[in-house]
Amino acid sequence: DKPIYILAIESSCDDTAAAVLKNGKVLSNIVARQSVHEEYGGVVPELASRAHQQNIVPVIDVALKKAGITRNELNAIAFTQGPGLMGSLLVGSSFAKSMALALGIPLIAVNHMQAHILAHFIEEEGFDKPDFPFLAMTISGGHTQIVKVNSYFDMEVIGETTDDAVGEAFDKSAKILGLPYPGGPLIDKYAQEGNPKAFPFTKPKVDGLNFSFSGLKTQILYFVQKKVAENPDFIEENRNDICASIQYTIINILMDKLKAAVKETGINQVAIGGGVSANSGIRNTLKEAEKKYGWKSFIPKFEYTTDNAAMIGIVGYHKYLEGTFNDVTVTSKARISL
Ligand code: KG4
Ligand code: ZN
């Protein structure tokens, strides 16, 4: 059998990424992170699309070079259709379209949130793939969902956030503490040295399998303001404990709903995906759940958690095998459901 080479392009937010996969195995996975947003405390869409335009050609060149193939050997080009920032998505889709047209190979549009879930199907030594059906919790800067995954392309959202995404909860909490954007990884770092029970925050009461994080953010803001009024050095003196307490509360919120989802569906294979699944506390808690609750948990390799093109490539590969292609009239979408 001839090998299938897929070039994947991801540009939904502030990372410009390209990957080459051979039969579902990653040959290269390149990400150019944009640092221009740090000083603004969040992603500035106009700056993001401009940086994508500067980065996309070199990122794709490096991905092909590192994979050791030329563009003429490619079988298809997969790209992120959405959800994401429109200006950012358009840079990736225009490039993918023109390249597929020029090479005369199929074009494959990929849903970014499906990709975070199907990242678990990348061929990777030492990593098991879940069996269908399984539960996936997608936790990122833009989404917080619990999804029942029946097959590659049959997914059902059974719970989701009613306001902020969990990544926003991390990033906004970090901002309150004066940490730069994105603050999630920094909270994780300081939390590892702190006492998670130092400052008890209350969990919101939300129906069913849904989530809410905006109340927690407000609670943290008022708590920090009050403490700083009493002692201007409060944050500096307690940074590790504050971060550990915030992270502990967020993990508890996620685990409560995940436990409820396992109970409700009777499915005990649990996978996580999205940027926040890089969090060491969540990774440890989910590993422990194997022994504690008898779950089988699936935790992606670090580089496949935050936005990357390898996950777009694995979806592209499975669509290629199914023969699901798009023509150049396919449009980018800021919002799409699973
Ligand atoms: O999936 P992703 O790269 O982009 C979106 O599609 O949103 O997720 C980015 C989010 C940010 O909110 C970032 O703070 C968070 O993932 N994040 C983390 C960690 N690493 C990234 N949050 C907590 N702990 C981490 N180690
Ligand atoms: Zn993402």
pLDDT digits (tens, 9 = 90+) for 172-184: 999 999 999 899 9
The fold for domain 128-299 equals Nucleotidyltransferase; domain 5 (3.30.420)
Question: What class does CATH assign to 5-119+305-322?
Answer: alpha beta
Query: Could you tell me if 309 and 63 are in contact, meaning their C-beta atoms sit under 8 angstroms apart?
Result: yes
Nearest CA to ligand 1 atom 2: 275
- Determine the atom of ligand 1 nearest the C-alpha atom of 165: 12
- Determine the atom of ligand 1 nearest the C-alpha atom of 141: 7
Can you tell me whether residue 60 is helix, strand or coil? helix
Q: Of the residues 179, 306, 308, 338, which should be mutated to test ligand 1's pocket, given the most ligand atoms within 8 Å of the CB?
A: 306
For residue 180, give the ligand nearest its CA: 1
Q: Of the residues 29, 34, 276, which should be mutated to test ligand 1's pocket, given the most ligand atoms within 8 Å of the CB?
A: 276
108-167 pLDDT per residue, tens: 999 999 999 999 999 999 999 999 999 999 999 988 999 999 999 999 999 999 999 999
Please tell me the pTM assigned to this model: 0.94
d(CA 115, CA 242): 33
How deeply is 306 buried, as exposed, middle or buried, from its count of CB atoms within 10 A (0-12, 13-18, 19+)? buried
Phi, psi of 204 (to 5 degrees): -75, 155
Q: Find all residues with CB under 8 Å of 325, minimum gap 6, and list them.
A: 76, 106, 107, 108, 319
CATH 3.30.420.40 residue spans of the chain: 5-119+305-322, 128-299
Q: Among all chains, which residue has been given the structure tokens 């999205």?
A: 274
For residue 53, what is the DSSP state? H
Q: Interface pTM (ipTM) of the complex?
A: 0.98
For residue 140, give the ligand nearest its CA: 1
Describe the chain by its helix, strand, coil percentages, rounded to 5: 45, 20, 35
For residue 165, give the ligand nearest its CA: 1
- Determine the atom of ligand 1 nearest the C-alpha atom of 84: 6
Query: What pLDDT shows up at residue 175?
Result: 95
As a whole number of Å, the CA-based R_g of the chain is 20
Q: Which two tokens stand for residue 244?
A: 């550990």
184-242 pLDDT per residue, tens: 999 999 999 999 999 999 999 999 999 999 999 999 999 999 999 999 999 999 999 99
pLDDT above 90: residue 284:
yes
1 is in an annotated binding site: no
